[in-house]
A and B are shown apart, each in its own frame.
Chain A
Amino acid sequence: MVEKGVKVFGMWASPMAIRVEWALRLKGVAYEYVDEDLANKSDALLRHNPVTKKVPVLVHDGEPIAESTIIVEYIDEVWKDGYPIMPSDPYERAQARFWAKYADEKCIAAIYPVFTSTGEAQAKVVHEAQQCLKTLEKALEGKKFFGGGDFGYLDVIVGWYAHWLPIIEEVCGAKVVTDEELPVLKAWYDRILAVDVVKETLPPRDKLLALNKARREQLLSA
């Protein structure tokens, strides 16, 4: 018996999972959200994603898809008459995919050490994270969103910065995205936070702050 409908297996504090929610909401697609305890993954999650066992997973009429960037493109293709997420021009699509890969491979790797370091070591990795983000920022220059005039694919992929990075900065006592170093990215934050689908889904700030504080303490004491 095929289970009809759309389910999202995610975790409330996961920026990767929120991408999927944003994409579905842009298309006006109703979905059931299953919040996973990552320390105690459900049988359903492990059955739907036995290969990487990670969230998010989208289950559409019983068929699972994993990897958030791939899920977002899937959503755009299935509900193709809805809000356009990917650019229509092949060259622009290639650019959007390029920067999404850059953000997920390089920027996350550059930001993580900020979270796990202190003092002088932290100052060094903050600088490196800024260099990485400055490269990404070039794709935003002169535009309202990475997608141009409208919230698009790359905004869905990196929009999480606007809510998560200031919290991470507060937890670590570091300043990464500043008006001096990354003015274009910083200015984009407000536009992201004003987008309806973003406003509807952001996890509560105090809860996210508390979680990250606890994580950092754990990592530093290990």
Chain B
Amino acid sequence: MSSEKQETAAVRVLGRWPSPFVIRVLVALRLKGVLYELVEEPMGNRSELLLASNPVHKKIPVLLHHGKAVSESLIIVQYVDEVWASQGPAILPSDPYARATERFWGQYVDDKLPSAIRVLRGKVAGDKDEAAAQVAAALQHLEEACVQCGQGKDYFGGDSIGYLDIALGSHVGWVRAVERMARVSLLDAAKLPSLAAWADRFCAHPGVADVMPDTDRFVEFSVKNDGVLKAN
């Protein structure tokens, strides 16, 4: 039963679960203990609310905070970190050099992974071998960054998950799914020991586990929606 005058949640996220970009926003909000409403965007048909909130790109995720729209996942993550600075762990570190380093790798992740993953899932046409090589090369660099940034601790952010953990970790669901679908080894524990171990820790983190489902569900989603037949 809905009341005539519905109260809109102060924090709403326009999105859909399989999007790594949406997952980033949800993890950030959960880390900060911020209550939010996830407004599911239907597949294939952009809602009026999305078009009004993100007229430039018409893409998810969009954060609506008291009705004001913030778009672009890593920009939203920083916004969440700044607005709710007084609660929860810091998402970006306080040291400017460490912040710049995490931002650099965050941008690197988005330059190298999403386009290659789209090819590997069969969502977009392309050379799968080339795409796999691109992901592997990128993850090799990130393995080194993992050792440097983390300094022996559990996450890139140290003892708790931070900006780069969120930026890269959000892609782990799809990375593991395409490993299975395209039959390639990407997060290879032999080649990338630190990163592989970190990936398991990230996925098991309480702020993450509820918003990033098992690999099975990603594969299921891809088989159903990505339009290309995948043998298993």
Chain A 87-99 interface 0/1 with B at a Cβ cutoff of 8 Å (1 = within): 0001101100110
* A78, B101: Cα distance in complex, Å: 14
**Shortest beta-carbon distance from B66 to chain A in Å:** 10
User: Which of A51, A97, A135 has a CB less than 8 Å from the CB of B78?
Assistant: A97
Which of A51, A66, A71, A90 has the most B CB atoms < 10 Å from its CB?
Answer: A90
User: Are the CB atoms of A94 and B96 closer together than 8 Å?
Assistant: no
- CB contact list, B98-135 vs A, under 8 A: 99-101, 103-104, 107-108
How far apart are the CA atoms of A67 and B70 in the complex, in Å? 23
Q: Which residues of A contact B (CB under 8 A)?
A: 51-52, 60, 63, 65-67, 70-71, 73-74, 77-78, 90-91, 93-94, 97-98, 101-102, 135
- A/B interface sample: 22 pairs, CB < 8 A: A51-B108, A52-B108, A63-B97, A65-B100, A65-B104, A67-B107, A73-B99, A73-B103, A74-B96, A74-B97, A74-B100, A77-B96, A90-B82, A90-B83, A91-B65, A91-B79, A94-B75, A94-B78, A97-B75, A98-B70, A98-B71, A98-B72
Interface size on B, residues (CB 8 A): 22
Assuming the contacts A51-B108, A70-B104, asked whether A94 and B76 have C-beta atoms less than 8 A apart, the reply is yes
Query: CB < 8 Å: which of A63, A70, A91 contacts B103?
Result: A70
Q: Once the chains bind, are B79 and A71 in contact (CB under 8 Å)?
A: no
Chain A residues lying within 8 Å of B82, measured Cβ to Cβ, are 90, 93
By a CB distance below 8 angstroms, the chain B residues around A67 are 103-104, 107
Residues of A within 8 Å of B78, CB to CB, are 93-94, 97
| A51-B108, A90-B82, A97-B78 known; A74-B99 Cβ under 8 A | yes
